[in-house]
A and B are shown apart, each in its own frame.
Chain A
Amino acid sequence: MAVLAVDNLCKSYGGEEVVAGVSFRIAPGECFGLLGPNGAGKTTTLRLCLGLVDPDGGSIELMQRRVPGEARPARLHVGVVPQMDNLDPDFTVEENLLVYGRYFGLPERTIRERIPRLLEFAGLAARAASRIQTLSGGMKRRLTLARALVNDPELIFMDEPTTGLDPQARHLIWERLKQLLAQGKTIVLTTHFMEEAERLCVRLAIMDRGRFITEGSPRELIARHIEPHVLEVHGDGVAGWARDEAGPLASRVEKSGDTVFCYAADPAPLLANLSRKDLRYLHRPADLEDVFLKLTGRELRD
């Protein structure tokens, strides 16, 4: 039984299709990643799934309830960590959790029992009485995560949970998400950090221009879409080298700025050639970012 089943979902704004026929199902306990460049339609897809926006077409079933019609009761079992911080600045850390728990109609006692555990989980036990303005970005994000757990949800939506955080804060969030998955929670997250997707997601979809362009486990996507070896070559004369010599040695050559990316199933001919040149290079296994850039292109999205 899927906790979220989306079928042929469509949404347009001013004639522009932001979500253009998206379908997917999320099984309980899964961590599903939605990847895509800015403006791909990730956040709109999440808002549609939560019933915050009415779709133009298609169907959504969240926690076995039709959305948007029954979105409110469905959200009783769902937690949300939004992209933009919307903690209540008028309250302390603890009050934020208390007030948010009330929105779920939870009895006061239940909320007060949960607060110490939630603060512990978020690493904010010592900051219960702190005002929101005094928290760091990482603390705020952890509090937002704790707030999303106040109703003990089965499914948690996270919209770019680690954007803007430093590596320490990011790793701590990842640790917590793994704990939640170990507890059997289901997580749907959007991100444009490939590392995050690779670490956390069992399954992911890459979204661009409102459509899913591919779907699978991180390994599957790499195996399906990209050659296993990557050489990043740079230095004086790299452009000439790419034009005259790289072509036959690699299955694909891409230029980005002053760097040439060579993709190959067998790196030996490239390595042999480069050993005789005065070019600097980095040889690494292909990763999800290569898949992402191949499928969505290298040009900037703003």
Chain B
Amino acid sequence: MRAFALPSISLRCVPVWRRNLLVWRKLAVPSLLGNLADPLIYVLGLGYGLGSMLPQVGGVPYIAFLAAGMVCSSTMNSATFEAMYSAFSRMHVQRTWEAIMMAPLDLDDVVLAELVWAASKSILSGAAILAVIWLLGLTHSFLSLWVLALVPLVGLAFGALALVVTAMAKSYDFFMYYFTLVVTPMSLLCGVFFPVDQLPTAFRAVAAFLPLTHAVAIARPLLLGEIPGNAALHALVLLAYAAAGFYAASVLFRRRLLK
């Protein structure tokens, strides 16, 4: 049965990805500004505001500590939004997926295109924040450019997880659960705003399993000019989330749309 088959991975997703790119190009400037504004407010507001009252965190000024967290969490948010609200619009409201599947493309091609697209958009967010971090002088190390290699992985992991939610969503309201129950707790548990070591043991154990923790574990040393320890392991965890999420989403979308 094709219901549980592994999703086929093919370049047929490219024209679907290009469709989304063409839409995005029409709204590129407001979209980029929107992607930048939110994390920037956090970096500046918390970084300078809260940071001025704090001693050094993790051995560096708070704003430099926070910068790495913001790169990861804004990449996460960008991929999540795209794979939930935008993908749901295309699937359910506009029936764009239905139109695509009347052409010689399969649901697998569409789902893969959505995943790659969500990751692509998150790369823009991640890269934009990184640029601002450089402009603000919060990093000086060229090692930080490696963050550009990390960001797509973070985008794929969170894009895939969000697609699982989209596959189950009846309406836009459903996404609030995911934000309230998953995204927000993750932002607080995974070392974005404060070191994971500050957490009680039980929470620390939970955090160790969450993908954002592993993203931050790579990004923070890079921005501080250090080579991250266990980078391969952390990357592997993100990759596993991406693969498992993509597979689960594919199965759920098939169940929803190929009846």
Whether the Cβ atoms of B26 and A104 lie closer than 8 Å is no
Q: Is B94 an interface residue (CB 8 A)?
A: yes
Classify the interface of chain A: helix, strand, loop or mixed.
Answer: loop
Closest beta carbon of chain A to B46's beta carbon, Å: 36
Classify the interface of chain B: helix, strand, loop or mixed.
Answer: helix
| A76 touching B104 in the complex, CB below 8 Å, given contacts A86-B94, A87-B99 | yes
| A72 touching B258 in the complex, CB below 8 Å, given contacts A84-B95, A86-B99 | no
Residues of B within 8 A of A27 (CB): none
Residues of B within 8 A of A86 (CB): 94-96, 98-99
Q: Is A50 an interface residue (CB 8 A)?
A: yes
| A102 touching B19 in the complex, CB below 8 Å, given contacts A76-B104, A86-B99, A87-B99 | yes
Closest beta carbon of chain B to A133's beta carbon, Å: 12
Within 8 A of B (CB), among A211-241: none
| A88 touching B104 in the complex, CB below 8 Å, given contacts A52-B258, A102-B19, A105-B15 | no
Whether the Cβ atoms of A104 and B95 lie closer than 8 Å is no
Residues of B within 8 A of A84 (CB): 95
Residues of A within 8 A of B23 (CB): 90-91
Q: Which of B2, B16, B98, B258 contacts A103 (CB 8 A)?
A: B16
Closest beta carbon of chain A to B213's beta carbon, Å: 36
B211-244: CB near A (< 8 Å → 1, else 0) gives 0000000000000000000000000000000000
Q: Is A82 an interface residue (CB 8 A)?
A: yes
Give the nearest-CB partner of B110 in chain A: A103
Q: Is A73 an interface residue (CB 8 A)?
A: yes
Give the nearest-CB partner of B23 in chain A: A90
State the CA gap A296–B145 with chains docked (Å). 70
How big is the B interface, by class? 20 to 34
Q: Is A167 an interface residue (CB 8 A)?
A: no
Whether the Cβ atoms of B100 and A103 lie closer than 8 Å is yes
Whether the Cβ atoms of B104 and A50 lie closer than 8 Å is no
Q: Which of A75, A90, A99 contacts B26 (CB 8 A)?
A: A90
Whether the Cβ atoms of B103 and A89 lie closer than 8 Å is no
Known: A52-B102, A82-B102. 12 other contacts (CB 8 A): A52-B101, A72-B105, A75-B102, A86-B99, A87-B99, A88-B19, A89-B94, A90-B94, A91-B22, A91-B23, A100-B103, A103-B100
Interface on B for A, CB 8 Å cutoff? 2, 12, 15-16, 18-19, 22-23, 26, 94-96, 98-106, 258-259
Interface on A for B, CB 8 Å cutoff? 13, 50, 52-54, 72-73, 75-76, 80, 82, 84-91, 95, 99-100, 102-105, 151
Sampled A-B contacts (21; CB under 8 Å): A50-B102, A53-B258, A53-B259, A72-B105, A73-B104, A75-B102, A75-B103, A76-B104, A86-B94, A87-B99, A88-B96, A89-B94, A90-B26, A91-B22, A91-B23, A99-B19, A99-B22, A100-B99, A103-B15, A104-B104, A105-B15
